[in-house]
Amino acid sequence: MADFNVNLRGVGSVSVIDVNGYLDAHTAPELENVFNKLLDGKNYRVVVNFNDLKYISSAGLGVFMAYVETMRENKGDIKFSNMKESVYNIFDLLGFPILYEFYKDENEAVQKFNELGLS
């Protein structure tokens, strides 16, 4: 009954994942499926847009931990954008800002990849 949706779209060479609703232990596997799809397609430049995410638990945070290194090993990254303060605070409690880049706006995050050039 948990309400969660995930959508994948391409913006140039960057894959943008829109997350919507409640990301918990029940819904985290749906997000994992999207990351697996990205790895299958060798898409390593990822922006996660949190604009419509209302809630996240450690099960959701764990998904980003599980995939970020593979992305970076392949000259990509997982960057975050459009996060509500209440959601950001949970990432902050666990020290994520040391390891991940957070942007106010999706375009800024996408631009950051484009500055690196196409590899």
Partner 1 sequence: MIYPNKKIEKELIVKSSTDNLAQVREFTRKAAEESGFPEETVGKIILAVDEACTNIIKHAYKYSPEGKIVISIKFDSTIFSISIIDEGIHFNPNTVPEPNIVEYYKKKKIGGLGIFLMKKLMDDVKYSTITGNKNQVILVKYLTQ
Judged by beta carbon, residue 92 or residue 105, the one nearer partner 1 is: 92
- DSSP character at residue 79: E
Spell out the residues 6+ positions from residue 28 whose beta carbon is closer than 8 angstroms to its own: 59, 60, 62, 63
Which residues would be at the binding site for partner 1 (CB under 8 A)?
1-3, 22, 24-26, 55, 57-59, 61-63, 65-66, 68-69, 86, 90, 93-96, 98-99
Judged by beta carbon, residue 39 or residue 94, the one nearer partner 1 is: 94
- Considering the complex, what minimum distance in angstroms separates the CB of residue 101 from partner 1? 14
Judged by beta carbon, residue 11 or residue 61, the one nearer partner 1 is: 61
